[in-house]
Structure 1
């Protein structure tokens, strides 16, 4: 046994390798490898401790934390490896020469690995793609979970983890939905039949977008007329979202909502059509007549015929019972002379909203976010603190402009009076576009605004200081204020 141990000791201690004048035995080589492996794991543990104990407390984003952690890990591995080799007496300059000679021989076989390695360093330095970003590369979409030196881990929408070589990100076009912020726009294509009223379609699409809670109101949704297709009019609904990684679920939800709105408005999605030309129509007609005669003989009650009224398929009466938004806007004096194109732009700037009888539209002192035009029904404007009615407004009139245009809280409470009051609502960010497109509306708002300031003064709703300021609120002053706020030219030739 002692002889065997002596032989094994001799085998492990015999010098088998000479590097730069330093001789290595098998035992020395094993100890060096074990030391480097330990250094690798220690470096990894230290870098993770730094990430969790320091970087996360600094509240850095996931991408920057991952990049710093990778740099620390590989820096520690490099330094510890150099120290281990120098401690063993290895001349690093001679080792570099040997590595260069070996690299020439195997370099061609490691081109992809070297390319991915360099690409990984570029990604970590440039930070154009970071951990936590939602990206799209080729047919892959997902969130980046980890960026390593050779490859990147991508978690797809199906919760699958895909290992992507870093070189692909530099060689291919990569869409980073999270770069520069988390707001992005998605397109929903839709094709409808040629007999569709485009204004009704626009309202339906915008209603679907506004009913989706994950769609942003600012920037507002838009409808674009794409082209005249072979079988359909092609439109696009454009909406903005701040959850890029949820764009597919949001797109699906919007499609459901669009399908519902199209059904409510009786808007048809056309089937592809084909034209058939008969070479001998007389013979075909004779064949049809013969088949019809045979069918009538075989029918027990030949007087029974099919009619649309007897069909079990019921028509959608919602479109008939509810007038379209552009028809309702036509009844408002400010818009009765608008062209179809102008009405299309108007529908795109706002939406209609129903209120029940005695339903509060907004309260006094509430922030001002909307401007309202009464399409049908009536509303009552009153002061809650004075328990006094200020005005009753009916079809074609508007309200909510005072606080919206002056940037102050609501000066009164408004509630609906009719059982089904219908309002056209324009949000704050869309008012400027609306006034630029309809100068006559801006002029009417200026007149009404100056009149209502006088009503508030006469009711004693403004104190003495506010009263002195309000004395200067004339029509010309209101026009100038609208011109400055919205860049329009009211009262100017």
Structure 2
């Protein structure tokens, strides 16, 4: 008994020690499993941040830089779906690994595995169960998702191919923006249509079974969807015929704007106020459309101007042309012109016509020209009329009595010292009339206002800085000049001396233009100088329109024979062989074809 008691007392501590060791081993194993799980989770979190957040974000930024603005929303959506899919796969793999590696979680692994297999079987049954038949093809959810996935793939591929064609080929070939958009749209729609046909054929759908559906759609297009069908066909006509293109400045139903996008249903127009207007395509087929950019962007704008009766019409023409030439956006070729429209109720009606090459800026140009016209008319003291009304009084008796009453009141007031009226402000110095300046030139002294107006219309103003050379000795005489502001120096390089100094209102270079001889001196600006320049083409147009003027100019130049000889324009042999008048007539006929 004592022996067994001793053995028990000796075995008890051993059993306790063995139990504690076994318990410690289980805790240690649990601790190791916990550390492994924490490590796996930490690695999964790091992989989630590096791969899904940082990596896909950088990839999305690179694709955004290369992709067009229209495809950026689709890229964002695709990146979000890819990030969600990869995250689900990553954490599913982590969860499966944790359940398989941890022995203590093996019962949970078996339960979860069996549950997932059961759900997969049920989902497989649901997705593979046909719910309708189309011809010989059974339609299931799995089939629909496959068709949907392939359709998205077709759309993405067609869009990518069209954008690649636009950025890599059409831009390199320097195709204009409108044709680029048209080719891109046609290629995208064609690839999408062909891709859908291939997808349906590959999926096993007999297209002949869709004839009934096509008939129903045709009836729908004929009745309920006639507007959509009209816009669809109009869009195809616009894309194929190119009456308008992307980038054109157009006007339709009073709407002015630039074409930004042409789609199959509607066209987007950006107005001058940066407002985007969606216009159905049938508007461009059924309505009158003004395409300012069709063929050439050059267009002419009309600015009506009214002046008071009695105004000098030639002076008004000068003012309008001067205002037109001051705006750099106005084209000098074709030159601006002025039309006398008629006689209004209280004014002469004029119209300034100028050419521009940016029709989208027509309204700002009109505003700027109106400011300049008002300034030019005020400087020349040309009155702009206002509407006037005649007032007729039927009963003048009461008016006469009031007049007598105020007359007696004024007579009863004692006379005071005269009050000096304030002096009228000095009028701004008016710019010299080009008509008068041209008449100072002896060759044009007998020209009528209409003849001088032609020179004024075809001439232009030029600005020269201090010391800038206007023309050099020996250069061809292709223009003559009238000094509007400043002064110039005329210097003979051959004699090395100054011949003259010319000031405002004087002119030079007319003999070289009319005779076709080279310049006899060099002309340089002494200060900031504004010149009115009349080119040989303007003189030729004037002489062709008025042939009798050539004879008068020839007689005037013949009188100045001594001046021509001093300038070296006529040598002695020509004088002896041909009379000066005949020689000048021959020169005018040769130069100006009159």
Query: Which among 306, 325, 336 is matched to residue 434 of structure 2?
Result: 325
Correspondence for 1:348: 457
Correspondence for 2:205: 90
Q: Is the 8 A contact 2:128 2:142 kept in 1?
A: yes
Q: Is the 8 A contact 2:444 2:553 kept in 1?
A: no
SS at match of 1:15: coil
Q: Assess, with a 3 A threshold, how the Cα gap between structure 1 residues 385 and 175 changes in structure 2: closer, same or farther.
A: farther
Correspondence for 2:15: none
Q: Assess, with a 3 A threshold, how the Cα gap between structure 1 residues 19 and 453 changes in structure 2: closer, same or farther.
A: farther
Q: Assess, with a 3 A threshold, how the Cα gap between structure 1 residues 388 and 89 changes in structure 2: closer, same or farther.
A: same
1:235 aligns to 2:350 (yes or no): yes
- Aligned residue runs from structure 1 range 359-398, under 5 A: 360-364=469-473, 370-372=479-481, 381-384=490-493, 387=496
Q: Assess, with a 3 A threshold, how the Cα gap between structure 1 residues 431 and 179 changes in structure 2: closer, same or farther.
A: farther
Correspondence for 2:422: 310
Q: Assess, with a 3 A threshold, how the Cα gap between structure 1 residues 482 and 339 changes in structure 2: closer, same or farther.
A: closer
Q: Give the whole-Å Cα distance in 1 for the aligned partners of 2:301 and 2:195.
A: 49
Correspondence for 1:157: 272
Q: Assess, with a 3 A threshold, how the Cα gap between structure 1 residues 3 and 294 changes in structure 2: closer, same or farther.
A: farther
Query: Which among 255, 262, 265 is matched to residue 147 of structure 1?
Result: 262
Correspondence for 1:102: 217
Correspondence for 2:292: 177
Q: Is the 8 A contact 2:251 2:291 kept in 1?
A: yes
- Aligned residue runs from structure 1 range 464-475, under 5 A: none
Correspondence for 1:81: 196
Q: Give the whole-Å Cα distance in 1 for the aligned partners of 2:544 and 2:535.
A: 15
Q: Assess, with a 3 A threshold, how the Cα gap between structure 1 residues 405 and 141 changes in structure 2: closer, same or farther.
A: farther
Q: Is the 8 A contact 2:479 2:513 kept in 1?
A: no
Mean alpha-carbon deviation: is it higher for 257-266 or for 3-12? Answer: 3-12
Correspondence for 2:316: 201
Q: Give the whole-Å Cα distance in 1 for the aligned partners of 2:170 and 2:231.
A: 27
Q: Assess, with a 3 A threshold, how the Cα gap between structure 1 residues 122 and 439 changes in structure 2: closer, same or farther.
A: same
Q: Assess, with a 3 A threshold, how the Cα gap between structure 1 residues 124 and 479 changes in structure 2: closer, same or farther.
A: farther
Q: How far did 1:275 drift? A: 0.7
Correspondence for 1:464: none
1:254 aligns to 2:369 (yes or no): yes
Q: State the number of aligned residues.
A: 472
Q: Assess, with a 3 A threshold, how the Cα gap between structure 1 residues 289 and 415 changes in structure 2: closer, same or farther.
A: farther
More helix by share: 2
1:399 aligns to 2:514 (yes or no): no
Query: Which among 533, 553, 565 is matched to residue 425 of structure 1?
Result: 533
Correspondence for 1:434: 542
Q: Give the whole-Å Cα distance in 1 for the aligned partners of 2:418 and 2:346.
A: 36
SS at match of 1:180: coil
TM-score by length of 2: 0.69
SS at match of 1:146: strand
Q: Give the whole-Å Cα distance in 2 for the aligned partners of 1:402 and 1:315.
A: 41
Q: Is the 8 A contact 1:373 1:396 kept in 2?
A: yes
Correspondence for 2:522: 413
Correspondence for 2:5: none
More strand by share: 1
Bigger Rg, which one: 2
SS at match of 1:220: coil
Structure 2: state its 5+ residue gaps: 1-114
Correspondence for 1:38: 153
Q: How far did 1:92 drift? A: 2.2
Correspondence for 2:592: 486
Q: Give the whole-Å Cα distance in 1 for the aligned partners of 2:365 and 2:228.
A: 39
Q: Which has the higher contact order (CA 8 A, sep 6+)?
A: 1
Q: How far did 1:22 drift? A: 1.7
Q: Is the 8 A contact 1:224 1:236 kept in 2?
A: yes
Q: Is the 8 A contact 2:513 2:536 kept in 1?
A: no
Q: Assess, with a 3 A threshold, how the Cα gap between structure 1 residues 300 and 257 changes in structure 2: closer, same or farther.
A: farther
Q: How far did 1:285 drift? A: 2.6
Q: How far did 1:382 drift? A: 4.1
Q: Assess, with a 3 A threshold, how the Cα gap between structure 1 residues 421 and 14 changes in structure 2: closer, same or farther.
A: closer
Q: Is the 8 A contact 1:116 1:165 kept in 2?
A: yes
SS at match of 2:154: helix
Correspondence for 1:275: 390
Q: Give the whole-Å Cα distance in 2 for the aligned partners of 1:84 and 1:411.
A: 84
Q: Assess, with a 3 A threshold, how the Cα gap between structure 1 residues 167 and 355 changes in structure 2: closer, same or farther.
A: closer
TM-score by length of 1: 0.81
Query: Which among 109, 115, 120 is matched to residue 235 of structure 2?
Result: 120
Q: Is the 8 A contact 2:455 2:534 kept in 1?
A: no
